[in-house]
Amino acid sequence: MGASKRARQELGYRKIVLYKFQGDRRVESSVEGVHFFLRGSIEYSNPQLTIEELQGIIGARLLEVCANYFAEYGLHTPDKNEIAMICEDLANPPEGLIIPFLLNTDDVEPDRYSMNPLRASLRATGQTAYPAATVHTYGLKVDSEFVDKYENALITRREAQFIGEILAHSGESYVDYVDSAKYAQLGQVSEMLGMDLRLSSIRLPLEMLRSEAEDGLLHYITREVHRDYDAVKQAYNCMGRSMSKRTTLLTVPHSKMGYGSKRAARGRLHFNGSRLESVTVKYQTTQLYPNSVDPNDVSVAEADDAFEVPGEALSNYRFAETPSSPQFFLYALASPENAALWHGVGAFAAPQLLQSYTAVRKACMRQTVLKELQTKYGVAPSVPVQLNLVPKSMWVHPVHRNIDASVGTIADLTALLRMGMVIENLPEYADCDAS
């Protein structure tokens, strides 16, 4: 590659384990050496591939192939032959200095956005307030009423049948099922568009917390931010929150009844002097979000439980004993990303999330929080490049104008490509101050 030696040194050497699904089989691979990781995402809140997800994946691939090409040949205006070469690279799996990947957040509710065709059975099995990572597929089935209502707006009958067939042959894990379904759909779209869109993935945070040792990275982060009053206050500062009420939980303990929804959880931190004495948690039935077709169809996380967690269970954290879901701005530190592609910040994504995400990294760079990130865990604290699919240029259904329509509802996917896309840099989030 033509990238400078200095640039390679700044990126550092990392070994990252990624995965894909081939049918119902998970296939892992490791990426070693110096790379620039570009983060995209898909959702576990629905098994059908949406046009929003498709646009993000295509955007990540376009950024990757163009950046890899110009890293090798220098930045210039490409001619027609060079554009053809770049397009050829799109037909092949990612290869080069820049590696796009999907960060799949497995702590999300399985019907967060009221667009999951399994919704009725998720309610019937009592799993609407579970984190996706612990949802099981037994008893789940496609809801025919959902398909009737949202046919050709959120999903097609053909897609419903397809994901139903995959569900019938899947194992117990819901997240494995969704991955299997989406990779199958990405394979179909890849053939249709002549692009390889089957990006490798990473799951955070629950899969990593379950698999890592007690001195692992996410365990360290969870322990450290609950170390004492000052540590919690520093984390609150990164979120722009006041310590007056202390009702924001930095990690949301799961109920023994299986609940883990951050929206359904209410809590409060209690201190004895500077020591975190306890955390009280209450789960209650809570509305989540509507889909973009029917604003009155709001998904619901059904839960009812209350309990107390000793402060020591968090300051001396062990996931096996106290399962919990950390806030995104904390567990995103475990992602290898050097750049992130967000979807519609300002319209479809909350700027506050980026502010806390950026603020904690700035604080880590100043070594005011999580001081052992680099020395013990090899995580160099830095603020990744923040990129955004501009909301007004996001792809929408031609009739209903929604971004959460499935790819199957679009008769001609190439029509979406002809709409183009605009990706902007968000430099304001690199200047966020966590002091």
For 259-309, the DSSP string reads ---TTTEEEEEEEETTEEEEEEEEEEEEEEEE-SS-TT-EEEEEEEEEEEE
Q: What is the DSSP letter of 172?
A: S
Number of domains in the chain: 1
Calculate the alpha carbon distances from 338 to 30, 99, 102, 200, 346 in Å.
Answer: 17, 10, 13, 16, 22
Q: Give residue 32's pLDDT.
A: 84
In a domain, 219, yes or no: yes
Cβ contacts of residue 375 below 8 Å, gap of 6+? none
In a domain, 127, yes or no: no
Give the structural domain span for 283: 214-327
Pick out the chain residues at pLDDT < 70: 1-14, 348-349, 428-435
Q: Give residue 12's pLDDT.
A: 55
In a domain, 364, yes or no: no
Distance CA 333, CA 223 (A): 14
In a domain, 231, yes or no: yes
* Position 179, amino acid: D
pLDDT digits (tens, 9 = 90+) for 382-431: 999 999 999 999 999 999 999 999 999 999 999 999 999 999 999 866 54
pTM for the model stands at: 0.94
Distance CA 363, CA 413 (A): 43
Distance CA 429, CA 384 (A): 10
Return the closest-CA partner of residue 394 out of 351, 342, 343.
Answer: 343
Q: Give residue 11's pLDDT.
A: 55
Q: Give residue 347's pLDDT.
A: 73
In a domain, 39, yes or no: no
Coil, helix or strand at residue 358: helix
Calculate the alpha carbon distances from 411 to 152, 156, 416 in Å.
Answer: 10, 11, 10
In a domain, 182, yes or no: no
Distance CA 41, CA 44 (A): 10
Q: What is the DSSP letter of 420?
A: -
* Position 297, amino acid: D
In a domain, 160, yes or no: no
Q: Give residue 79's pLDDT.
A: 93
- Helices (H), ranges, 132-212: 144-150, 157-168, 174-193, 206-211
